[in-house]
Structure 1
């Protein structure tokens, strides 16, 4: 097991859970020299602090007037190292005794049938793991086809089957316990041979995807407080969801729907996806944040959402929704080098580039150079450039246009505008920023690098055929 635990929970406020039932968890560690222990718990992809115990002997007591929510909890040393884990369900008064030789394998629970089951599983699992490791090490020394190697592989297979049978037997004999729910959630989807051998090459993938959550009830918030939850969510979205905004939105709604009506899990998931997609890695994925704000934050109570937080989220979504792929680009009427006001809507080109740039910006200089190269090489596309400078010094702006030979572009200055502030209108928080529009002045790409424009248009025109 990993020794170090994320330090995140030490900067979070003390968390109090539940109803009015108390918790009293006694921890006895022979040989433990420090005076402090922390009680922490998993919370999706985080670890949070639940309680602190101070003692000048080997006995520590986590004692509180409130019931803690079920899940896997962690006893953490004064040095922020994980010592061991245990399960917590309805019964919250018990003793865990161990020593510093092997915190987990030497642990003996008393007064907690759930933890007796949990440690029975852990110890059996450790025993099987050690046997398999010895056999695997021996196998590495053998030739792949000799008799001994075949025998070793068969023995490893039998041990894996034994471990699986032990888990299934424990689940069957202990229905209703959190340990049974936990072990069930660990089960992997088994794809039938008929599907594996199907002539349809996609059958196995779709079977696995359709049955991915069979053993993992997302509406059981106890699983949220285990390391399994985050791993499952990440695996599903990484391996089973297409890398397209609409597909991700569909998957998010599906997963949150399965978490209903558990408000704890729904709130966690909404915030998790918000964190994942508020600064998206892929173009067009800002649509996901808009969806989350419109369909969850604005329609129901989500935990930890204060009125000011909600207002900020809605303001951000309102900025983004006007700039989503496929939307008509907001009009800009800004001054040109002759002192006249101009709009890109009058540009006749098949494609229009909106480039926001700063004459003091070194990255802008590189992008402009790359963009000039694109235009000089005469790509097979009719592209017009509407270059919006963000500096207020008009004299220097015009000098820079001449110095960099940008006269063939439509040059305008964003600081002299009839329309709204370009910073808000186009979400310009730095430069350069580039938007690519089609002939109807709809946004087809944004925040694209200049040297990727032709490649993007090649792909775009192919998909439009």
Structure 2
């Protein structure tokens, strides 16, 4: 008898929809049959396919596994047309959801899931109020009568208050549910009246910035699998925080501190997202954020997820970039001109030095160098000097190009002979190792590369064009003038 029972249980466990252990999420979509369906989960800004299930002839399917439950968050059950989907909250290890294919939102029936019951209550209310708000706003925009406009604005305010009250009540009444935590994260910090009435014009901003994360639980990794968290993080970084590398890096540290644990997935996401975003940034100077993040987390062994190969690649990128961030003192370059006379870039005494790396056989350089010569002629009497460095080892073509194009500003280069006898030249004090290794040290992966340095040889701008130089110099002069006046006033 015992063997018969054991066999029967084994057979039953193989039947579709039966799960003895782990999680079981069962669905029935009326109107679907004999097809496959996918589940996707949010992770930061994107959704990723997570699972696949077979839909039987009755529209039934199940996502099941041996784990206690899928990682918590908001998931999408994507219909075969890949356009329509059913969103579900994963915060329990089992539930049953039924819906009609052609009316997924309004036809949903839920069993054994307080999370999803609350979620769909919330979404249905929002779906009834938000279109109403939009319709009223459109009517107001088209209305010409001031009286009717005022009436419409009153209706907009009433509807917005109703929506806000419902959301606040929802969060309060469902405070033990994960979905309430998600909806709470969308609530903006409320600035007190005394702050609004402050004589300090920046008081509201300071309060908002300080309390921005009050409603967001940065310790709960499930938040990463919702559409809310990434939006909040990005808005904070791009709109709330001043767009200065130091401020952005400090903001990233604040966010990682809020996770409470450097093994937290949100901690990992913040570090990766900020680092990768600013490593790829096209905005001049923002690679300073990458340098700061690398120093703060990766170089200190606080990035548990990277292996030795990834670390080596990041360290190489960090080493090159930190030498060129805006505000650092540029490394000196000591090389000879085409006549064999040695020159040190540090010997140039001028308010501004334009450092350009170029190749006489580079097509773009052939167009850019005459422009730089014209710029030099127009600005050399106004505190601007030039220091050209040729990347071509044999300087025969360099001489020809300089003579042909009548380039008069200082140009230097290394030679095969100098590099073959590098030790001799370095030991004698004629040059330095970094001068001879300038291609790698300055990360010259293409030419021309133009840098603008101030009188102390600090980098003001980098990887710019000749056309940008006048505006950048003028802007820098104006800022310097403002800073001098400000210092005088504080005295």
TM-score, normalisation: structure 1:
0.88
| Structure label with greater radius of gyration | 2
Question: Over residues 87-128 of structure 1, what are the superposed CA-to-partner deviations in whole Å (9 max), with x where a residue is unaligned?
Answer: 111x12112211221222322221111000000111111122
CA distance in 2, matches of 1:459, 1:65: 63
CA distance in 2, matches of 1:28, 1:44: 29
Matched, 1:423 2:439: yes
Equivalent residue, structure 2, for 1:6: none
Q: Secondary structure at the match of 1:283?
A: coil
How far is the alpha carbon of 1:153 from its aligned partner?
2.7
Matched, 1:439 2:440: no
Question: Over residues 308-340 of structure 1, what are the superposed CA-to-partner deviations in whole Å (9 max), with x where a residue is unaligned?
Answer: 101111121112222233333223343421245
How far is the alpha carbon of 1:351 from its aligned partner?
3.0
Is the 1:353–1:437 contact (alpha carbons within 8 Å) kept by the matching residues of 2? Answer: yes
Equivalent residue, structure 2, for 1:92: 93
Equivalent residue, structure 2, for 1:408: 409
Matched, 1:277 2:307: no
How far is the alpha carbon of 1:56 from its aligned partner?
4.0
Equivalent residue, structure 1, for 2:24: 24
Equivalent residue, structure 2, for 1:362: 363
Equivalent residue, structure 2, for 1:154: 154
Change (3 A) 1:400 1:38: same
Equivalent residue, structure 1, for 2:111: 110
Q: Secondary structure at the match of 2:157?
A: helix
Q: Secondary structure at the match of 1:73?
A: strand
Aligned CA-pair RMSD:
2.4
Higher helix share: 2
Q: What is the correspondence of 1:248-259 to structure 2 with a 5 Å cutoff? A: 248-259=248-259
Q: How many residues align?
A: 443
Change (3 A) 1:101 1:78: closer
Q: What is the correspondence of 1:134-153 to structure 2 with a 5 Å cutoff? A: 134-146=135-147, 148-153=148-153
Change (3 A) 1:80 1:432: farther
Q: Secondary structure at the match of 1:431?
A: coil
How far is the alpha carbon of 1:298 from its aligned partner?
2.5
How far is the alpha carbon of 1:35 from its aligned partner?
1.6
CA distance in 1, matches of 2:33, 2:402: 71
Q: What is the correspondence of 1:162-173 to structure 2 with a 5 Å cutoff? A: 162-173=162-173
Q: Secondary structure at the match of 2:447?
A: coil
TM-score, normalisation: structure 2:
0.83
**Structure 2 gap segments, 5+ residues each:** 1-20, 423-432, 485-491
Equivalent residue, structure 1, for 2:12: none
Q: Secondary structure at the match of 1:427?
A: coil
Is the 1:31–1:100 contact (alpha carbons within 8 Å) kept by the matching residues of 2? Answer: yes
Equivalent residue, structure 1, for 2:426: none
Change (3 A) 1:333 1:130: closer
How far is the alpha carbon of 1:257 from its aligned partner?
1.4
